[in-house]
Amino acid sequence: MLRTILVISGKPGLYKLITRGNNNLIVETVDAQKRRLPVFNSERVVSLGDISIYTDDDSEVKLSEVFENISKAYKAKTVDLSAKKASDDEIVAFFTKALANYDRDRVRINDMRKVLSWYNLLISAGITSFKEEEKA
């Protein structure tokens, strides 16, 4: 599921891939507005399925696993913490629940805030399953 959810550099929020055009992608916002727009080749687009978080043991954990941990900790409900207004200590405490062994040198507070806001956006949009689909 996270393979079709995209982050577009310079644009707030998350977007769902609808279709591919000749020189662009057609995406739809994940929020309640469901606004569609084209994304061109010149824009930087990253799938949530391709994002990983650094850990202390020099490995990486997929973002889907981090979302699963948050979902278990908060019973698949939105987190009552504002990504914009929460203090750095609150964000670190939240992220430690999600991934206790994250690399404290390479994972920044802004990255943690993004994970929190993305998780809340996905839950608000009704996406509660973050496990990667197994290919046969």
- In this prediction, the residues of the chain whose per-residue pLDDT falls under 50 are 136
Contact 25, 38 (CB under 8 A): yes
Predicted pLDDT of residue 136 = 47
**CA neighbor of 39 nearest in space, from 82, 9, 68, 62:** 9
Predicted pLDDT of residue 31 = 86
pLDDT tens digits, one per residue of 27-56: 999 988 889 999 998 899 999 989 999 999
Predicted pLDDT of residue 92 = 93
Is the pTM here over 0.95, yes or no? no
Predicted pLDDT of residue 103 = 92
Predicted pLDDT of residue 35 = 92
Token pair of 58, please? 């020099």
Please, what are the domains in the chain? 2-48 (2.30.30.730), 51-124 (1.10.10.1650)
